[in-house]
Structure 1
């Protein structure tokens, strides 16, 4: 297939304290979230000066990709559009249209399949194209990359490093916890066209990271950043609840790897580095948070390789065995809009 641009698509985030509440209103538009709940979540952003790291990470990723593409003969201009904060997706599509782009690939910054991490981005792309009009380019989303070596191996390296920091007195009483963003149970129950669910993909990533890290420590997959109303059922256990159980079992140290996130999003910085770390301290547990891939060179290479799968038909590079499918197909991550609020 011939493509003439790459579009980076991300969630977006505020870049000043004045941005925070307008950003949260964008995120929750149409969901009936009360202002007091928005004000509560806003405090998490204010803790970091009102700035989410995700926009700067996208800028840096684009710079790294431009250099990598130039060095490897990939002649694709790179555009960037967000779901919830400037640069907005519709503006990116408008620029692409004005530049004469006819068909583009979209790399979204979520590795997994679910409504909010896959299908909703497809809906956003369709809405942006519709707003721009009939001259808007066709945009195809790149596949899920939860088992790509460029995603798995940086997590494994960070995990090994963090395991090495566990104090000797906790030897034999250490647990690895892999975390990803919780989603409503109803959303997870809607499988992709080949039957693999979000939880299956996250579990496979956890297994692959442990294998790549050459670790035999016991591990669990837990969930974080739940944002729905109390009456709705979301994936469990929550990382904080699980820490309570592990402490009761005599676990003395935990190493937490946030495999749901390519970079240190606010959910990582607040929910893990603040809330979960404080829970562990209260329980007397040694707490170690492993890093995310961030701008690891293998992530940049991964994006180029994912592009080449579509542009040049190169072999798919992956470590897992779960089925893969074209996310642009109608059966991918069926629309099941989540209740509550994302961050």
Structure 2
């Protein structure tokens, strides 16, 4: 039986022209962001928000080179995983090119009958992994698909995170340094209404990763809130202020829900929150994400092997 691996992600605009279409697709997804309006108003409202937000976020993308590197990095991860597994690895995005619906059509046309699906989100959430699984099931009807729902406990993923963090903590006083795990936020109603396990998986990931750094106190915060709804807290900005009040003079920030650099790391963490830390007089160090690390690719390979063995 012809088989392949499918990596999915929400995607990101790779250039300035892709910003508005990306935002429109994102805010049109009622399962991800429910504005509390009748269903027929979701897309018109999404169009208005995308139109309004595009000129606001364009300068952010310009500041990081004119577009997000996320798609490029994800495609590279797919290439590396293909070499590691010996399988064809496809990569599809929900809201940007290469769109999942196009990639799914290629999979069918090329005759693949069994697909091992892994999202590039280590922690499960109905809004991210759940959305990817939903769309894969929709687009790949008639194809046998095995899904990886979560891989945040994968020992190689944990080791990958630890190896990246370690150099940033070197030489710092544990009594004066906080290790901050900044996770992408999630609308509160996902937890309240759907009992989304995301916050617990973020916490478990943080515990596993922090176990290598005894003596350092660690904290969890949330970033990247969008739209007029309530999101998980505390925010990363609020947490930085609290850490200052607690007497910490240094903060090492690890973007725990990400496996590749993109706008939330390169601008939100590296520009906006770095400026907040500077104003507070905090020594601020943001851990760079090595998306092409052999450890990360081996972690993904392990998840593929699990799915193949089921």
> Structure 2-normalised TM-score?
0.88
Pairs aligned (count): 293
- Residue 37 and residue 18 in structure 1: after superposition, are their counterparts in 2 closer, same or farther (change >3 A)? closer
Render the CA deviation track for 1:21-45: whole Å, top value 9, x for unaligned: 2222222233524222332133322
Question: Post-superposition shift, 1:46?
Answer: 2.2
Q: Structure 2: which 5+ residue stretches go unaligned?
A: 29-41
Match of 1:67 in 2: 83
Partners in 2 of 1:233 and 1:151 — Cα distance? 30
Q: How does 1:12-91 map to 2 (within 5 A)?
A: 12-29=11-28, 30=42, 32-33=45-46, 34=49, 35-70=51-86, 76-91=87-102
Question: Post-superposition shift, 1:94?
Answer: 0.8
Q: How does 1:99-248 map to 2 (within 5 A)?
A: 99-129=110-140, 136-164=142-170, 166=172, 172-190=175-193, 197-211=197-211, 213-229=212-228, 232-248=229-245
Render the CA deviation track for 1:243-282: whole Å, top value 9, x for unaligned: 1122122221111111110111221111111111110001
Partners in 2 of 1:16 and 1:309 — Cα distance? 36
CA RMSD of aligned residues (A): 2.0
Q: Structure 1: which 5+ residue stretches go unaligned?
A: 71-75, 131-135, 314-343
Question: Post-superposition shift, 1:190?
Answer: 4.7
More helix by share: 2
Pick the aligned partner of 1:261 from 258, 262, 280: 258
Q: Classify the secondary structure of the residue corresponding to 1:116.
A: coil
Partners in 2 of 1:101 and 1:119 — Cα distance? 23
- Residue 149 and residue 291 in structure 1: after superposition, are their counterparts in 2 closer, same or farther (change >3 A)? farther
Render the CA deviation track for 1:67-123: whole Å, top value 9, x for unaligned: 2123xxxxx322121111111111111111111111211111111111212211122
Pick the aligned partner of 1:306 from 277, 280, 303: 303
Match of 1:325 in 2: none
Question: Post-superposition shift, 1:147?
Answer: 1.1
> Structure 1-normalised TM-score?
0.80
